[in-house]
Structure 1
Amino acid sequence: MHKPKLAKLKRSGTNVVNDGQRTVSSFFSKTFRSEEQSFIGLCGKVRDGSEAHSNLPLPAKRQRSSADIDIVPMKQTVDTKEIAFSISARTVEKIKQFSAFHNVNGKQIESDGSFIGENAESRNIRNEHSFCGTLDSRQDSAVLCDKGEGDKQASNSLSFRNPDPSNNNATVKYTPLEQQVLELKKRHSGMILMIQTAYKYTFFGEDAEIASRVLNIMLTRYRNFPTAVIPMARLHVHIRRLVEEGYKVGVVNQTETAALKAAGDNKNAPFTRELAHVYTKATLIGDDVDPLSQEGEFIQGGGVASYIMCVVESSDTVSSSQQKSTNLSVMAFDPSTGETIYDTFEDGPCREELERRLEHLDPAEILAPQTLSHETERLVKYSSARVDRLEDNLFSFTDALAQVASFFCGQGDTESDSPTFQSMTDLPPLAVVCLSVLICHLKKFGLEQALRSDGFKSFASDTKYLQMDASVLRNLEIFQSSMGSQKGSLFWALDHTRTKFGCRLLHEWVSHPLRDLATLQCRQEAVSELLHSESAIVHQLQELLDGIPDIDRGLTTCIHQRCGPASLFAVLRTLGKLQRDLQALHALAEKDLQSSLLQDLIKDTICLLSNIQPFLDNLNEQAARVGDKTQLLHDYSAFPAVTSRLEQISAVTQRLQDLKPGIAQTLGLMKFDYVTVSGQEFLIEVKQHQKLSVPHSWRKVSETKQVIRYQSSEVDTHVRELNRLREQLVVDCHTAWLSFLAEFNAHYFAHKKAVKNVAILDVLFSLVEVAKQESYCKPTLVDLEETVINVKKGRHPVIPLLFPSGDQFVANDTKLKSAEECCMILSGPNMGGKSCYIRQVALIAVMAHIGSYVPAESATISILDAVFVRMGARDELIQGQSTLMLEMGEASAILRKATLHSLVLLDELGRGTSTCDGTSIAIATLHHLLTKVQCLTLFVTHYPAVMELEHQYAGRARNYHMAFLVHDKEDESPQVLTFLYEVTGGSAGCSYGLNVARLANLPPHILQLASQKAQMLELRACSKRFMRQHFQHLWRSSDLKSSLEGLQGTECN
């Protein structure tokens, strides 16, 4: 029998919609595609207002369900036409409960969220874990379903369904779970809470709305709160996505189990829940957010550190608006590695020193007081980091000193007994304040333990490191290319590391090149030996580095007690393998390796990891892999609570076994054994034909066609006791696990040093890969009174790697000496390679100060104290700085800081203003560098007046230009150039800017007119120059009459 496609229920029966017509609910479609597909309603009136009739009988069940339906007449406007329809009151109420964003009239409620079509992510989530149901109404009442971009402010309160305002007696009734959620939000405001409910994590209220938008998961409403749900297995994915959007996320876990709850006094109350962890962008540490992959290795984070940086400035600066300079202190801590870097410094009104530290460290989060000076506030506010404002009273030095003393002094120790505290008090006062703020902040996350190290590092000592400010990192493209990616940067060209911690160490070496000649020579010797040695140990050491997970972060996860058994086992297994492999290579290393650095690395690492094997032997691998702490250790003799609980469990198990003969006798069986079905243990299974022999006191558990399963009262009592003891055993074993972890963490600093040694080995092999490239040499480093850079056939270290024709890169020489020719004035046509050449010289110098080989036939380089660069044109309109202002600010900093041992690169200084002003600034700046500073200088310019300084400073400055060929044309169109990219002596007569315009495909008529104007302006300039020279000659002439006669016939244009 043919059935109608759509039928509508009404009190009197069923209305049938015309065949083929679609019915679309306005609650699921915001707009109507056409009048023919418009909303018909749930109860019977069609588009033209007439009713469709049907005498088809309803099934009995549907008749009963429609018996009490009340019809609510409604109207919907579609394309300016009003359409009438009807909805039952019951349906209206159901839709109210379902829809978080639309009312029953189809109008969108004012809200940041909206229903979004299902995508692959939401389908994958539902496939991983099906969840759409209700929790036990006696404990947790909430409908949990799974969906959508986020607001940057975590909710402090929860949105809920308000009672009817017309009813003065209306009140909101919360379920026990909702009351618990409200209390949690009150105690932990300012963060998004992910609350564990059974085997899922649930967002409530505004948190759910934010999660729906950011995570693209379904938002639903049940009772008073909107809710959104994620499966427990996807917790680490969604935490990362939320914190990447700038949110602070709290994870609330259930702190009691079902068995312990059943044995307690609060059987009908919700499960106890407490905040377990808090995460931000820089505190993504632990198994919740960094679990093991299926292969058993760490899901490794980025190679670069994620610092939390505290910024403090002297109090008089904040209160004074006339202060031109100030004292600042920064302290950066990486929770994932435990690395702490601090610095206290004086900074000018432009805050270039603070900017330099922000550029180097690139913090993920900044801790700052509520009030900062305008100059500091401007820099902090517009940084890419998440800024956390703390109360000003946390930045008091007196309170800070007390906080540091309390943290570093051991229990019962005095301040004088704690050597670590004594070393901390040697820090500058502002650095102590930074440390105190970090301690207070990290305690909120439970990550403060790694701060107890006394190995704090100073950011950049002027005597230890080559200084490079933020503009140097940016203009030389040290870590990021001009395209905004790491590819094309110097770090990208040098990074051939095999481990994440090796990559981070290389980043540190590149950002802080050394000035210590002895250390640099040790690195060079190690790289040279690994490059040229034919010993088998070189290949074996390389293989040893392959496949090592990020054990550096793994160790820090352990010290924070955020690791699980599987993570600890992975760390122990990796460290144990390293120790055994290096021990096997020790004898061969002493025989074949000559480098003292390589020998010391191997020997020290073996010694530092000598205590790993006992921990590894006591760990049960199978239990560790599945996270079973009850069988984690082979030997629990050091934990009497665990052994006692195991004895109690054994006794209860034995009593259950002792009941078996009596059960067999009751059932008339010769032999009986318990069965386990669907995880339910100690069931008495009886065949159907034997059920008459079962005592009435036995409780039926389950039944099939063949068997019935029971539990006697005695068995039931013992099973309950057994389950309670097993839950207690889990608690006891967790305590034993923490003790075992604390014992391992006692060797934290030794293990960290061993990992650092392996990282150094990894970085040295990375530099070996660099040295293997064609035409690389080991530079000769000298530490003399005079400064020298002498490079023969040098090449850019990055450009040949980016292009297939990199082998055709033109090599150039560089010869600078502070006592002789210390300045190259470089000119030439636009796009001729001037900027590339001066970058090349600076990058070769930086590579030499890392200990790397350099792209040249030979190189002799002095130990420099700093590299300074003024290059390019940009502005900072948000900070109120124009292009010229930025240019002059950078030039000012260079003139203040440059010394005899500095390398200075100035590219077209003064081009951001008029030709007259720009020329004057360029000449004055170069005059100062040549006469006062006497540093090595590469000065790129298009100003002819600057090139004339070669004659004024003969022997100190010399003109060079990038060679090119000119192809003249007969017409007035621009000349065509062929760039040769060779540095050649002498200045260029013209910049040939029209050639660049031609390459940029400017229209031909524009080029022709520009060429004519250029010739006209050039002719006028030559005429003026000629007349000026003659008038100067006349002025000086003693025989004015003869001079005037000589000018007869001269034409002036």
Structure 2
Amino acid sequence: MTKTIVKRGVTELVTPGVSFNDDILQSKSNNFLAAVFLGKKTNGITFLDVSTGEFLTAEGNEEYIDKLLQNFRPSEVLVSKQQKANFKDSFGEDFHVFYLEDWIYKEDYAFESLTKHFQTNSLKGFGVDDFNEAIITSGAILYYLSETQHNKIQHITNIQRIAEDAYVWMDRFTIRNLELYHSYNPNAVTLIDVIDKTLSPMGSRLLKRWLALPLKDINKIKGRHEVVAYLKDNSEELKQIQYQIKQISDLERLISKVATGKISPREVIYLKDSLDAIIPIKTLALASKNEALKTIGDSLHACELLREKIGTTLNPDAPVAINKGNAIATGVNPELDELRTISSTGKGYLEALEKRESEATGIPSLKISFNNVFGYYIEVRNTHKDKVPTEWIRKQTLVNAERYITEELKEYESKILGAEDKISQLENMLYEQLVNWMATYIKPVQLNANLVAQIDCLQSFAQMAIDNKYVQPEINDSFELDIKEGRHPVIEKQLPVGTPYISNDVFLDRETQQLIMITGPNMSGKSAILRQTALIVLLAQMGSFVPAEKVRMGVVDKIFTRVGASDNISMGESTFMVEMNETASILNNISDRSLVLLDEIGRGTSTYDGISIAWAIAEYLHEHPSKAKTLFATHYHELNEMEAIFDRVQNFNVSVKELKDTVLFIRKLVKGGSEHSFGIHVAKMAGMPQTVIQKAQKILKKLEKDHSGEALNGIKAEKDEMQLSFFNLDNPLLEDIKEDINSLDINTLTPVEALMKLNELKKMLLKK
């Protein structure tokens, strides 16, 4: 074998955001590559899943870009080198970022890249012609694909604009607080875990998109509800549709592999089988009595020629790789069929030829053999060489025999020896021709994938409604939110079997009950009521039925939550600072259709600071012209006084029943404020030492008797009790020390003077 230099080159770069590898990709999740550009007036962002061809772009302020980054969670983000610091300041360091040269982020370059790719003169047909910053980020993505050697991208057939005003606004805090996709607890169940009853990878990915972008258009919301209601009420059709969807593979990623030429023969069969399963779905949809389903059925492409071509070209059991052989069906190519016949029947052919020549020549000992020097030959012993026909060609003389070849034998030899190689070459050529021809069906197959994904999401909603007894919400253009017997969709699924979920009513409007002040003990379920209200609204505007007895609501345009808190140490922010940042974002963005959910505002600071801040925030929400619907959960019972001062503030509490030394949490929201937090009971339930519990109970009784705190003087540590070392907060001596410290100018104080002052304060305390 001759030694030659084998040329090797980089054919493709795999990056976190650009991959077709099934071992890397998750079937139920998109693998988005994102590009971000921070403009002077607005910002641009684009997402691409190269494995599916989904190309989405948007513009907006930093909060909107942040929201999209949180929802779409790209695996990789492209940023201009010039904007490296700005990106980190605005969006943190949680993303895998790749920095590109600044010249790539130019509108002219991006516009040219996009129009060249889509083979158009403008971008008006995509609705992004006035999206300058979005065009820039879209161009950056195309550049990155080219640089990573991904040039076969004809499956990117469209660029879709994410219209900010078409979907419900949720900031990053709300997305996190409601635990839509992820939780701080890795073992926690999230909303998507509960609502995802999709049966196809495309459906699961689309459901996440619907959750990220709930609708605001009443007609579109009602359209989804009507399909869900129809499927829920027609269980036989639902079962048939579900059965067919289960037969469908990942059409989006399969057709993307066609575009890139990376699809295997077996995957082509999967593609055909999936398209075959769409035909019954199309028939069922067209025959349904629901107009939206009929429209989907009418739009589904039968792809008859594609299915027929695959069926006649490939064997049904085609291998996972073309080089495994036997991918192309019999009858497609006569030469291939002949070569296969030669390859599979070679031994029989030689035996037949040997017999025929023996009979024709009368040489009984004639035999056909093979060696690497001469190939196939006919061997005749010397006793019979006078019978050899003249057309035979002598190739070798031995002591007792001679070897000959014939034209027929040499012709067969060339066929049989080259058959395997030729079979492989022919199969590769025919398969490549098929895949190239299939690429003309990229758009119809992508359309089918999207329509099947829609049906899958809607059947998922219908199945969830059946399984969990969800009801169809009534959506209107009012400003009311009226939930009867609402339930938390996630918590109710985690309860032990047979344990009923305590449902609750919530009513909010702009006239009489705009702000509900919810008080009640810790662990009573205040936070759950807040979250379930948001999740019910969210599900309703996704197009799903909801966990309640009845829901009547006007469309909500923004959902804000301030529920739970955590330190943001990496950014140098305390729990209280995080809380104030989140709350400030809410107050600066509320509208007349906003839903605001605030939980324990002000708990990260001192009691009086906390009460003051919480009161001021509640008053701001009440007095703001938007009159945003608000649930305000708090342990500050002083806020109950707001009901008497402000017309649209109503007090509610989550009820409990006190039984001797314990508390039974009823978890029912009832009218009126609560005066107790039952914190000591919660501490007892948590396993706090008995001495701590007893001491806390004594202090509580004294404090309740005299709010000034002077009653603490009467509490002395008894034997076997823990010693309280705190001195009276209202002691005059401490006030003097406090004033003394406050009057110090530490900038002018020398180290010696500081030590002397410290010693003076110490003596004052010792005199006490």
Does TM, scored on the shorter chain, surpass 0.5?
Answer: yes
Give secondary structure in 2 for the equivalent of 1:625.
coil
User: For 1:533-579, what per-residue CA distance to the aligned partner results, in whole angstroms no more than 9, with x for missing partners?
Assistant: 26x43332222122422222111221222112221122012212422
Alignment-derived partner of residue 159 in structure 2: 456
1:585-600 matches, cutoff 5 A? 585=284, 590=287, 593-600=288-295
Q: 1:666 to 1:841 in 2, by over 3 A?
A: same
State the one-letter code of the partner of 2:35: C
Alignment-derived partner of residue 450 in structure 2: 756
Alignment-derived partner of residue 262 in structure 2: 562
Q: 1:863 to 1:285 in 2, by over 3 A?
A: same
Question: Does 2:252 match 1:548?
Answer: no
Judge conservation of contact 2:611–2:638 (CA < 8 Å) in 1. yes
Judge conservation of contact 2:596–2:628 (CA < 8 Å) in 1. yes
User: For 1:59-92, what per-residue CA distance to the aligned partner results, in whole angstroms no more than 9, with x for missing partners?
Assistant: xxxxxxxxxxxxxxxxxxxxxxxxxxxxxxxxxx
Alignment-derived partner of residue 101 in structure 2: 391
C-alpha displacement of 1:817: 0.9
Alignment-derived partner of residue 576 in structure 2: 884
Give secondary structure in 1 for the equivalent of 2:36.
strand
Q: 1:780 to 1:274 in 2, by over 3 A?
A: same
State the one-letter code of the partner of 2:274: T
Q: 1:523 to 1:673 in 2, by over 3 A?
A: farther
Alignment-derived partner of residue 838 in structure 1: 530
Q: Which of 9, 30, 37 in structure 2 is aligned with 1:312?
A: 37
Judge conservation of contact 2:126–2:160 (CA < 8 Å) in 1. no
C-alpha displacement of 1:716: 9.1
State the alpha-carbon separation in 1 of the partners of residues 404 and 184 from structure 2.
74
Give secondary structure in 2 for the equivalent of 1:826.
strand
Question: Does 2:251 match 1:526?
Answer: no
Alignment-derived partner of residue 116 in structure 1: none
Alignment-derived partner of residue 314 in structure 2: 620
Alignment-derived partner of residue 847 in structure 1: 539
State the one-letter code of the partner of 1:354: I
State the one-letter code of the partner of 2:167: Y
Question: Does 2:617 match 1:925?
Answer: yes
Judge conservation of contact 2:471–2:546 (CA < 8 Å) in 1. yes
User: For 1:785-804, what per-residue CA distance to the aligned partner results, in whole angstroms no more than 9, with x for missing partners?
Assistant: xx111111111111121122
Give secondary structure in 2 for the equivalent of 1:791.
strand
State the alpha-carbon separation in 2 of the partners of residues 859 and 492 from structure 1.
23
C-alpha displacement of 1:625: 2.9
Q: Which of 213, 219, 224 in structure 2 is aligned with 1:512?
A: 213
Give secondary structure in 2 for the equivalent of 1:746.
helix
Q: Which has the higher helix share?
A: 2
1:127-526 matches, cutoff 5 A? 267-285=2-20, 289=23, 301-314=26-39, 327-347=42-62, 352-372=63-83, 374-378=85-89, 382-383=93-94, 385-409=95-119, 416=121, 423=126, 426-445=129-148, 447=150, 449-450=152-153, 453=156, 455-462=158-165, 464-485=166-187, 488-526=189-227
User: For 1:672-694, what per-residue CA distance to the aligned partner results, in whole angstroms no more than 9, with x for missing partners?
Assistant: 456799xx99666989999x99x
Q: Which of 1003, 1006, 1017 in structure 1 is aligned with 2:689?
A: 1003
Judge conservation of contact 2:45–2:59 (CA < 8 Å) in 1. yes
C-alpha displacement of 1:329: 1.3
State the alpha-carbon separation in 1 of the partners of residues 396 and 172 from structure 2.
79
C-alpha displacement of 1:386: 2.9
Alignment-derived partner of residue 433 in structure 2: 739
State the alpha-carbon separation in 2 of the partners of residues 390 and 713 from structure 1.
68
State the alpha-carbon separation in 2 of the partners of residues 676 and 544 from structure 1.
57
Unaligned residue ranges in structure 2 (runs of 5+): 712-768
Judge conservation of contact 2:153–2:259 (CA < 8 Å) in 1. yes
1:644-793 matches, cutoff 5 A? 672=367, 727=421, 730-731=424-425, 733-773=427-467, 775-784=469-478, 787-793=479-485
C-alpha displacement of 1:1023: 7.9
User: For 1:775-828, what per-residue CA distance to the aligned partner results, in whole angstroms no more than 9, with x for missing partners?
Assistant: 4321111113xx111111111111121122464211111111112211100111
Q: 1:500 to 1:805 in 2, by over 3 A?
A: same
Alignment-derived partner of residue 828 in structure 1: 520
Judge conservation of contact 2:154–2:259 (CA < 8 Å) in 1. no
State the alpha-carbon separation in 2 of the partners of residues 583 and 759 from structure 1.
13
Give secondary structure in 1 for the equivalent of 2:472.
coil
Judge conservation of contact 2:366–2:378 (CA < 8 Å) in 1. no
Judge conservation of contact 2:34–2:78 (CA < 8 Å) in 1. yes
User: For 1:644-697, what per-residue CA distance to the aligned partner results, in whole angstroms no more than 9, with x for missing partners?
Assistant: 9989x99xx9xx9899799979996566456799xx99666989999x99x997
State the alpha-carbon separation in 2 of the partners of residues 436 and 834 from structure 1.
48
Give secondary structure in 2 for the equivalent of 1:849.
helix
C-alpha displacement of 1:869: 0.4
Q: 1:807 to 1:978 in 2, by over 3 A?
A: closer
Q: 1:985 to 1:682 in 2, by over 3 A?
A: farther
Q: State the structure with bigger RCO (CA 8 A, min sep 6), 1 or 2.
A: 2
Q: 1:942 to 1:631 in 2, by over 3 A?
A: closer
Q: Which of 604, 617, 623 in structure 1 is aligned with 2:299?
A: 604
State the one-letter code of the partner of 1:600: T
Structure 1 stretch 988-997 or stretch 711-720: which is displaced more?
A: 711-720
State the alpha-carbon separation in 1 of the partners of residues 614 and 437 from structure 2.
65
State the alpha-carbon separation in 2 of the partners of residues 813 and 911 from structure 1.
26
State the alpha-carbon separation in 1 of the partners of residues 271 and 591 from structure 2.
48
Alignment-derived partner of residue 731 in structure 2: none
Judge conservation of contact 1:676–1:682 (CA < 8 Å) in 2. yes
State the one-letter code of the partner of 1:840: Q
Judge conservation of contact 1:494–1:770 (CA < 8 Å) in 2. yes
TM-score computed with the length of structure 2 as normaliser: 0.80
C-alpha displacement of 1:282: 3.6
1:982-997 matches, cutoff 5 A? 982-997=668-683
Judge conservation of contact 2:107–2:136 (CA < 8 Å) in 1. yes
State the alpha-carbon separation in 2 of the partners of residues 728 and 520 from structure 1.
58
Give secondary structure in 2 for the equivalent of 1:309.
strand
* Identity among equivalent pairs (%): 24
TM-score computed with the length of structure 1 as normaliser: 0.60
State the alpha-carbon separation in 1 of the partners of residues 362 and 569 from structure 2.
90
Judge conservation of contact 1:330–1:434 (CA < 8 Å) in 2. yes
State the one-letter code of the partner of 2:118: F
C-alpha displacement of 1:888: 1.2
State the one-letter code of the partner of 1:461: E
Judge conservation of contact 2:488–2:532 (CA < 8 Å) in 1. yes
Alignment-derived partner of residue 868 in structure 1: 560
Judge conservation of contact 1:699–1:713 (CA < 8 Å) in 2. no
Give secondary structure in 1 for the equivalent of 2:241.
helix
Unaligned residue ranges in structure 1 (runs of 5+): 1-261, 291-299, 317-325, 410-414, 701-709, 969-974, 1026-1053
Equivalent residues, number: 693
Q: 1:931 to 1:807 in 2, by over 3 A?
A: same
State the alpha-carbon separation in 1 of the partners of residues 231 and 622 from structure 2.
43
Alignment-derived partner of residue 739 in structure 2: none
Give secondary structure in 2 for the equivalent of 1:899.
coil
Judge conservation of contact 1:910–1:922 (CA < 8 Å) in 2. yes
Give secondary structure in 1 for the equivalent of 2:522.
coil
Judge conservation of contact 1:424–1:432 (CA < 8 Å) in 2. no
State the alpha-carbon separation in 2 of the partners of residues 334 and 952 from structure 1.
54
User: For 1:360-411, what per-residue CA distance to the aligned partner results, in whole angstroms no more than 9, with x for missing partners?
Assistant: 001111122223253422465621x4322223332233333333343333xx
State the alpha-carbon separation in 1 of the partners of residues 66 and 543 from structure 2.
27
State the alpha-carbon separation in 2 of the partners of residues 772 and 922 from structure 1.
41
Judge conservation of contact 1:401–1:432 (CA < 8 Å) in 2. yes
Judge conservation of contact 1:286–1:562 (CA < 8 Å) in 2. no
State the one-letter code of the partner of 1:753: L
